[in-house]
Amino acid sequence: MKLSQWAKLQGVSYKTAWRWFDEGKLPVPVEQMATGTLLVKTSGYKKNKDCVVYVRVSSGDQKSDIDRQIARVVAIVTQQGFTVSKTVTEIGAGLNGHKPKFMRLLSDSSIKIIAVEYKDRLMRLGYEYVKYALKSQGRSLIVVDNKELEDDLVEEGKAVLTSFCARLYGRRSAKNKAKKTLEALKNDSNTCP
């Protein structure tokens, strides 16, 4: 298939795909014809190894991070022998359940594999429940950077506190309010005998 068709399927612009080719970062095998046309080699991939890449950023000012996430996830899953059938991008907070595109992925039983960069790109809390629910349906999640946080309990506490602050103070200031609250708690614990 032509590079432009492949780029459209991946949810990236043709310019971005061409730049990846130029930089040697295109995550799929490609052949350049004498005319200059780039053909992406899709044969040799197993159809049962199709996956959908899900990319989410929290706000509109982080749109530039979308291409970086797509490139990283697509590169890693193709190295693992998967072929990316579709890329889904979404802008929305990780603290709430208002992610319509992600909900469509979950409800579409034809999608067997969903790949993400980090667990929190899906949700802040409850990742394990979704993972096991999909597993019971014969589906799976791939997290390409499954780094464990040094102190998961602290991180989960931050997520819960941020969620509460979002409800009390509004989404924009929630992160700052949670940070200030955590700093105040830390300072109080340092002054106790």
The set of catalytic residues is: 58
Question: What distance in Å separates the CA atoms of residue 95 and residue 174, rounded to the nearest whole number?
Answer: 10
Angle between helices 14-22 and 3-10 (to 10 degrees): 110
Residues 131 and 141: beta-carbon distance below 8 Å: yes
Residues 55 and 90: beta-carbon distance below 8 Å: yes
Question: What distance in Å separates the CA atoms of residue 50 and residue 28, rounded to the nearest whole number?
Answer: 14
Closest by CA position to 123, among listed 98, 150, 87, 145: 98
Q: Which two tokens stand for residue 41?
A: 């080699």
**Residue 46 phi, psi (nearest 5):** -85, 135
Distances in whole angstroms, Cα of residue 110 to Cα of each of 11, 23, 54, 113, 175 = 19, 34, 15, 9, 36
Q: Which two tokens stand for residue 55?
A: 């990319």
